[in-house]
Structure 1
């Protein structure tokens, strides 16, 4: 009889029985406490962020006498103080309403033009071959470090010669010029992550560059474009430095008008509170409108 010898090198390892993995009670308790601490921390941060907004809203709904005699938190015990009289007077204020529409006429074109030009330039820098492409993109990146204050006086002199000083188009052009470097840099890097095979397949199917850009690149780059729209709109809507210099009394936005109201009337809370809340709520609405695309654009950079 011949004995069978088992080679230890090829011997099978012992099988581990399949089944649910037992977790230690201490690990489960640590995870629950950790998630509870994180949730409590987020709740505290949310309350800290919401409290000034709630205070501004309640102050805008109270009369000047109530605001002078007590704090906004007194409305929780005396809700009869709240009314929309301040907003009715605000809508009747010609300076505030004109400044609000000036802000819209500045912010919307400045955001739209930046997105349109930056999307075209970003696609060209990412996927088109032309002489000096890398050097031009390096120049765009270098413009990111140029502060806005450097160009205020030269551009003001240029606008004075062109007849654009003190006009809404002048303010829009300034915001477009200084918003393009960051916009081109952002969209170019996002468009460059699109798989080359996708673009090559579209070209083999007879698609022109314009058709590829509008039907393929723009839909894929929607999260990055939405993020750029939020950044650009918030920057232009909340700007006061550029408007103080380049806008006159007929073209000044809401931020400058509110600042002038403080200077002229002092603590006129019945005008400043509803005006400030109106200036604040529009960017908040825009952010939540594009929130889903904004989160996708932020998360895309972490997984690619």
Structure 2
């Protein structure tokens, strides 16, 4: 039986947030428009965080205001990352219909990332979740460092399950499990998923796998076989984490779609259009695409 796969594109936010050179607002809006035209229907477009900590996201309001200029289609979902109530209120003022909240499965990462404990970080989201429920705003949860942490080392799967469960209890319709430093292998990913799925149904879980050690596609496949049907990815493999030195981008959206095309799973995304988009944004940023699929397809076209 053919399975439908939901691809959550995080390139405009997670992909660009770690870029050293400022990416213009116009470029971000153009990127979002190009992603929409590939068939993607869930595109995380910005993070409402302090410019002091993530300068690349300083133009979040301008990006939201520019979405109509990107020829964005009805039915496309544009979630925004909101780390606190102030950010949530700003996102709502810009027209947000879905927000993302996040916690870590590692105390060390939580302290470095948002300067508080895991328990404190989740408690901060209680009023946000209450207000989102009142306003009918969808909330998506993220758990960082589900396999390993750059500060605390390996993470126990039971801890990931605990944090994921708390985000679900807050009202998250889905919890995305992030291998933030890309240390996972299919074996470690499956052990983590087995623990989490005892508490949170697999239908409410998503995989968010970075490709630092080249295992992201293998981890996606293992998760797909386990029962997950939602995966986060980043165009051209863009990304990294300002609080996880050496971490590379998410699995490239092109690589993920190529995998699912080969499995006869339906993503609704045009691979050729994705490759064009990846080539374009990589050229704008002055580098080759990280995606092997894009590199291979571009090479084939040039023959």
Q: Is the TM-score greater than 0.5? A: no
Q: Which has the larger radius of gyration?
A: 1
Higher share in strand? 2
Higher share in helix? 1
Higher RCO (CA 8 Å, separation ≥ 6 residues): 1
